[in-house]
């Protein structure tokens, strides 16, 4: 199974939108963190995961010409994972800011 990874690379000059391809084993539905890191390394980006929820990766080498990489969409053909920023904002505003025991 294939997974097309749509991602943005943030440079000082602006953001570049790129795509990568990962071949998944039949039992896997979405790529793992190591699959994504391997794909990025094959593309010349040496990264580490910085924010799992927002799918943001940062360079693991100090002298990089980009600031961060953010995955926008994972397309496996069956289902597409795409972050819905508006839904996240609505849910964030509806949830209490301080959690207290019942």
pLDDT at 10: 94
pLDDT at 95: 60
pLDDT of 39-75, one tens digit each? 999 999 999 999 888 899 999 988 888 999 999 988 8
**What mean pLDDT comes out for the span 30-42?**
92
pLDDT at 79: 55
Helices assigned H by DSSP within the chain: 33-42, 85-94
Which residues, in sequence order, are CB contacts of 90 under 8 Å at separation 6+? none
pLDDT of 100 higher than 60: no
Let me know: does 69 contact 47? Beta carbons within 8 Å: yes
């Amino acid at each position: 199974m294939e997974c097309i990874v749509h991602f943005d690379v943030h440079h000082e000059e602006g953001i570049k939108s790129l795509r990568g391809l990962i071949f998944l084993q039949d039992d896997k539905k979405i790529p793992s963190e190591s699959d994504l890191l391997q794909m990025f390394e094959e593309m010349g980006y040496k990264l580490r995961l910085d924010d799992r929820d927002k799918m943001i990766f940062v360079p693991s080498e100090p002298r990089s010409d980009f600031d961060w990489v953010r995955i926008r969409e994972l397309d496996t053909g069956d289902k597409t994972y795409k972050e819905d920023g508006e839904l996240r904002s609505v849910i964030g505003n509806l949830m209490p800011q301080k959690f207290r025991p019942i």
